[in-house]
Structure 1
Amino acid sequence: MGAAVGLFSICMATGVNAKAKETLQVDFQQAAKKYRVPVKVLEAVSYNETRFDAHNGKPSVAGGYGVMHLTDVSGSTITGTDNTSKVLPDSAALHTLNKAAGLTGYSTKRLKEDTRTNINGGAALLAYYQKKLGHSLTSHANSWYGAVEKYSQDTTKQAAAFFADNVYKTIKKGVTKSGVILTAQKVKPLKDQSEKLDLASVPSTTDGPDGLPVEWVPALYKEFDNKGDYGNYDLANRPSDGLKINYIVIHNTETTFDEATNLFASTPSYTSANYVISSEQGTVAEMVRPQNVAWHAGNWYINSHSIGIEHEGYAAVGGYWYTEAMYQSSAALVKYLAAKYNIPLDRQHIIGHDNVPGLTPAAQKTMHWDPGTYWNWQHYFDLLGVNFKDSQGTGSIVTITPDPDHNLTADSGQKVTDDGVDLPLKGSNFVYLYQQPGFDSSLISDKDFSTSSVGTTEKDDWTDKAVDGQQFYKVGQSGDWTEIDYGGQPAWFYNPNDANTTNATGKLVTPKGSSTIPVYGSAYPTSSILKKNKVTGTKPSPIYTIAPGQKYVYGGEMTSDYFNSHFNSNSGKNVIKGTDQYVQIQFNHRIGFVKAADVTVSDQ
């Protein structure tokens, strides 16, 4: 799961155009006045649906169009590079576009493609829902809670309330984006309006924060034969059994929500996730309890110490973007889990599947690259309460903080490609890394990804990309170019006036002595300890080396262990403890581990 199996041939720019940006505030004001909807409610609904992003008239994976996310799935399909197509799932939530057309008199085509018209459609829907609930078209924002819940098209009390609560939090906090200035306002919505919506209530049998719409959908757990073959996850008792949960791994499904949950729940797929989040409404399926070990990361050590969260969506962005509802739900879940299990809210612990290392050099080449180039880490961490752009001094550690609107420039010849076909530059979450300071230089490469000495612009080539939130040691500066230690080699990226970095504090890890040291994809015990415990076919395998003088950012220390799992057993005896201490580092695009005895850890 999470591998790119259905990549898009569609290519387009994202976001509202410059002219729309200039008039977006006025468009909201005029639509609000026309349909007698409080402008702050209209703007906050749009922000929580799309963050004011029209996505160039293309639909989300949930079939939503425009800044108001008016939905229509009629004939919507996803075409992959293998020329196969999948029809988007149908539901009552995916047909608001036609209703908006009937209320406004505008064509569905115009509602899809014209931002001002789309906003009018959203305003008309809100007014319609308000009247259907028996309420007046009042100017008081507090009296629109029920209509906002209905606008979400959610079918459960928990999901509808989660959306409406986020809308009112936006009004209370305020937001400035894309030319829209929504000033903060004290609000106290009338939540008793929900009673008239007749929504179902989901029993609370799940592990998640209050208010988040989480449903228990158990993954398959059974023996497949009498020879020890079983799936799709392992019983454990984390962290009481000694397996500390250190990571939350962000995936995307490359399938629909239903396909992903069915794969984990109904088939011997040998894969699972602790949670799956839908794009359509941000609803959550808990499938493997956090104390148990889901099979999701492609690295047994990371699996043993992580929670995996799959997100409905497609990494090659096309028009099928990650929705705001999904970001909001995911961030709420991650914030809850991070607090419960004491997981740091940083990019060495809240990681993408693309940040998980392989256990061997051969495995590096097959490791996944989701959630990919267009996952908005900056916005995601904002929702978690972390701002990567908060400067922390003038030291030698930098956080990668590219502006997703301007970090890649067509004038320089930079591009993102899918089998050679151009994808959007805007919305990408990384900076390219070059062998020398200059756009005429070649991109760096990785020995375990390609036999070539030159990197590529392909979306899945993780070897030459430093991603939003990752931290590295700044070696030096040459004009507009910054040099960092990256993956055992020097790497340069375009950084005029520090436009793509923010100073950070932390600890640095460097080899002791004058010899190279190994980098591992796990913190496993020694081979002798594993052999003593009858573990075969597994050993700590170096995947890279670090030369003396190179420095990498510290991500914590841990004692070596191995989860020797067995079917229908969650005994603490399954956790084999070693004696080696390891230090985690941000090594390249992926994290890595070095033995504490091999390195010096120091403040920058």
Structure 2
Amino acid sequence: MLLWVALTATAGALAVPGQAAGRQGDFAEAAREYGVPQSVLLGVSYLQSRWDAHAGEPSTAGGYGPMHLVDLTALPGQEREPGGDHAHGDARGDSARPVRHSPSDSSQPSSPPHTGDSQRETAGLPGAGSPLAGSPSVSGGALLKEAGRLTGLSSARLRSDPAANIRGGAALLASFQERPSSDPAQWYGAIIRYAGSRSFADEVLSVIRAGASRRTDDGSVVRLTAEPGLRSPAPLRRAASPAECPPALTCEWMPAAYKRTGKKDYGNHDRLDHSRQVDYIIVHDTEGTYRGISALVKNPKYVSWHYTIRSNDGHVAQHVLTKDIAWHAGNWDVNSRSIGIEHEGYLAKGGTWYTEAMYRASAKLVRHLANKHDIPLDRAHILGHDNVPGTTPDTLPDMHDDPGPYWDWAHYFDLLGEPLGSAGRDTSYDKAALPNDPSHDPSNGPSHDQDPSFEHTWWSTPIGETLWDAPFKISFGPAWHEPPSSEATPRREEEFARPDRDAPYQWSREDAQLGGGGSVLIRPSYDDHRPRFTGCTSAKPAKACPPHGASVVWLHTEPRHKATLIDDIGKLVGKPSTYSVYDHSARASTGQRYAVAERRGDWTAIWYLGQKAWFHNPRSRPTAVPARGPLVTPIKPTVKVYGRAYPEKSAYRGTGVAFQRHVPLPYTIRQGQSYTVGHTLTGTYQSATSFKPAKHVMVKGDLRYHQIQLGHRVMFVRAEDVRIIR
């Protein structure tokens, strides 16, 4: 084995004519040097790092570089960054039964990490008894050190030099392979030993079959050529488990605590003896590592969520059954109608280490849950925690901000099978073909210091495809259109049919007028769009974050880069908006649909929190695409908005449940403004104040609400206060 590695290393070290440049060349050279199929090397790296070097910063698991070489000595130095932690606010979000204990009372785990991978994942495979095989806590901890031994390279170089890191990963894979082979399928066992997960190895083969291509953080393009004929291993036999996951995922049952914590108190979720309507899936990040999840979720004085997904391999753990209510969103109305999924990672570091393995596992899970619960796959129903509304004005400042601007929503929806369209996406990746225009050079134009809001979108081309909104539910009266009177009662719930996605969309004459009209879907090109952020380093909060792709656009009071940002009077009370990575007061996110208020040249204004908000949207490199769907406009001079869709007072009569007041949020919308509608529903309130599920009561009313995209968060307006205009 070692002789084979040495011989291939000698042969591979020779210069090769036509060697690819950039990171693609690094992968090709390392593959030749150590006799690893290039597709295997690329597939493993893509799932763990998306082929990025991450500026030498470690992942949540202590992994470095494109090959995620783990050094566990890096973990103790990682700190919990402020801003997204569960230890503030009331995750249950029910004023009728606020949490009587502080989530911060939970103790941090002192036991070794709970890896979650069962013995059956590696049992019987070549080399499964190796100290480097099995769970990531074992194999991962030795990867960087072992790579140094195999290559003779220092740990410092393996961490910081991408080419060296790729060589180290190739050497490790070769050392785990018992027999040389050019067939990627024959490397299945070596991949398992590398990552400690059979499900990860399955996904690597899936990536190789489909192929992939993206521009990496060094500016070069890396491609993995598809091999559609690659065979799959035999399906994994899974032990019986309460976990609710699709067959393609390795999913363990790690139950949350359901215990009494006092005479009239209990935690950390609510169990139901009946089914429930699920309207939302909420995407969170943990703001901590996977190592602590088991201890946290088993603490009845902490909060809860339904699933956690591990970063390095996409392993899924379920904690609460989807029929039950977890305490995760900070809004009881949303909690009672949602499923919460935590993703290992940190908001401020998300652009660095939200891994492809985690994205793909999450997308499989969400697609499965959406099918099971009939949840539309759009950004009105697949929400970030940062899109969940506060319940009252007092709770708004403490609402959470995860998963943040670095979560790649466009890629996520591609994986969900519901693409969000294309804006400014460079499909050729051919620098030589770019026009001789200084605007395409990121080193030209305004710098971050000169213009902190300048949004880099180089290597961009005009929109190349059309976009239609994903289907979503909304209520209507007897006809397809809104009843002529606001007093008419909607009587049925239908689903908009998606127009022909292949039909070209043209801006209407009304759309082209100065007054705007219609709606747009926010859609910057993630890899090329690099707005400035601060706050990624807690010790220096004013320091600019490293440039990285992002899924948001900044919103200004005027159509110019140096204009002040729009203020959110509910989030930063009495303070102006900032460029902090934790502050979404003046941001619109990929996939969110907004009503157009006005257009001026390369700028588009949307209705946002009761005001016009401008974002840069040039035709040459657009950051939004035309969209269709219903809008609402007030029929009163001003209309109140709410964070909960609770029923009217009369609905509580005879239920034994106290009336839950309708507390408006500090925003209003006015006549002449319009807002997009993502969902229409009848008010309900799930009363759950007893440890015994049989004593829970569901209050159902007749009051109807429209869910609107008011700002960065969704909110609710009463249907009787507005009318549908499109």
Q: Residue 102 of structure 1 aligns to which amino acid in structure 2?
A: R
1:399 match: 521
Aligned pairs (5 A) from 1:85-124: 91-92=137-138, 93-124=140-171
Matched, 1:52 2:51: yes
- CA shift digits 1:458-491 (9 cap, x unpaired): 2222210101111111222212211000111110
The 1:100/1:203 distance shift into structure 2, 3 A limit, reads: farther
Q: Residue 249 of structure 1 aligns to which amino acid in structure 2?
A: I
Q: Secondary structure at the match of 1:169?
A: helix
1:12 match: none
Matched, 1:64 2:94: no
- Would the aligned equivalents of 2:320 and 2:326 in 1 still touch at CA under 8 Å? yes
Q: Distance between the aligned counterparts of 2:20 and 2:577, measured in 1?
A: 36
The 1:208/1:572 distance shift into structure 2, 3 A limit, reads: farther
- CA shift digits 1:255-313 (9 cap, x unpaired): 222323312213422x1001112223322221110000001111010000000111221
The 1:124/1:114 distance shift into structure 2, 3 A limit, reads: same
Q: Secondary structure at the match of 1:91?
A: helix
Counterpart among 197, 206, 213 of residue 176 in structure 1? 213
Q: Residue 459 of structure 1 aligns to which amino acid in structure 2?
A: V
- Would the aligned equivalents of 1:145 and 1:189 in 2 still touch at CA under 8 Å? no
Counterpart among 298, 312, 334 of residue 265 in structure 1? 298
Aligned pairs (5 A) from 1:269-288: 269=302, 271-288=303-320
Counterpart among 220, 228, 231 of residue 189 in structure 1? 231
Sequence identity of aligned pairs in percent? 41
Tell me the TM-score normalised to structure 2 length: 0.73
Unaligned runs of at least 5 residues, structure 2: 1-18, 83-107, 114-135, 216-220, 423-465, 468-504, 508-517
Q: Secondary structure at the match of 2:606?
A: strand
Q: Secondary structure at the match of 2:706?
A: strand
Structure 1 window deviating more from structure 2 (287-296 vs 138-147): it is: 138-147
Aligned pairs (5 A) from 1:132-211: 136-154=179-197, 160=198, 162-178=199-215, 179-189=221-231, 191=233, 203-211=240-248
Q: Distance between the aligned counterparts of 1:91 and 1:582, measured in 2?
A: 48
- Would the aligned equivalents of 2:50 and 2:66 in 1 still touch at CA under 8 Å? yes
Aligned pairs (5 A) from 1:51-450: 51-76=50-75, 77-80=77-80, 91-92=137-138, 93-131=140-178, 136-154=179-197, 160=198, 162-178=199-215, 179-189=221-231, 191=233, 203-226=240-263, 228-237=264-273, 240=275, 243-269=276-302, 271-317=303-349, 321-390=353-422, 391-392=466-467, 393-394=505-506, 396-409=518-531, 414-418=532-536, 419-450=541-572
Q: Residue 376 of structure 2 aligns to which amino acid in structure 1?
A: P
- Cα shift at 1:320: 6.3
Q: Residue 281 of structure 2 aligns to which amino acid in structure 1?
A: I
- CA shift digits 1:164-196 (9 cap, x unpaired): 22212212111111211222222333626x99x
- Would the aligned equivalents of 2:333 and 2:644 in 1 still touch at CA under 8 Å? yes
- Would the aligned equivalents of 1:79 and 1:86 in 2 still touch at CA under 8 Å? no
Matched, 1:521 2:643: yes
- Would the aligned equivalents of 1:168 and 1:187 in 2 still touch at CA under 8 Å? no
The 1:86/1:121 distance shift into structure 2, 3 A limit, reads: farther
Matched, 1:596 2:710: no
- Cα shift at 1:75: 4.1
- Cα shift at 1:584: 0.9
When the two chains are superposed, the root-mean-square deviation of aligned CA atoms in Å is 2.5
Structure 1 window deviating more from structure 2 (557-566 vs 22-31): it is: 22-31
| Number of residue pairs matched by the alignment | 557
Matched, 1:26 2:25: yes
- CA shift digits 1:114-171 (9 cap, x unpaired): 111111111111211112xxxx2111223222222222223xxxxx1x2122212212
- Would the aligned equivalents of 2:555 and 2:614 in 1 still touch at CA under 8 Å? yes
- CA shift digits 1:294-352 (9 cap, x unpaired): 01111010000000111221112189622222222211111111111011111111111
- Would the aligned equivalents of 1:314 and 1:320 in 2 still touch at CA under 8 Å? no
1:6 match: none
The 1:232/1:408 distance shift into structure 2, 3 A limit, reads: same
Q: Distance between the aligned counterparts of 2:401 and 2:232, measured in 1?
A: 44
Structure 1 window deviating more from structure 2 (446-455 vs 430-439): it is: 446-455
1:463 match: 585
The 1:408/1:211 distance shift into structure 2, 3 A limit, reads: closer
1:545 match: 668
Q: Secondary structure at the match of 1:106?
A: coil
Q: Residue 30 of structure 1 aligns to which amino acid in structure 2?
A: E
- Cα shift at 1:503: 1.6
Q: Distance between the aligned counterparts of 1:350 and 1:518, measured in 2?
A: 24
- Cα shift at 1:521: 0.7
Matched, 1:477 2:595: no
- Cα shift at 1:577: 0.2
Q: Distance between the aligned counterparts of 1:211 and 1:117, measured in 2?
A: 34
Q: Secondary structure at the match of 1:317?
A: helix
Matched, 1:502 2:625: yes
Tell me the TM-score normalised to structure 1 length: 0.87
Q: Residue 214 of structure 1 aligns to which amino acid in structure 2?
A: C
- Would the aligned equivalents of 2:350 and 2:406 in 1 still touch at CA under 8 Å? no
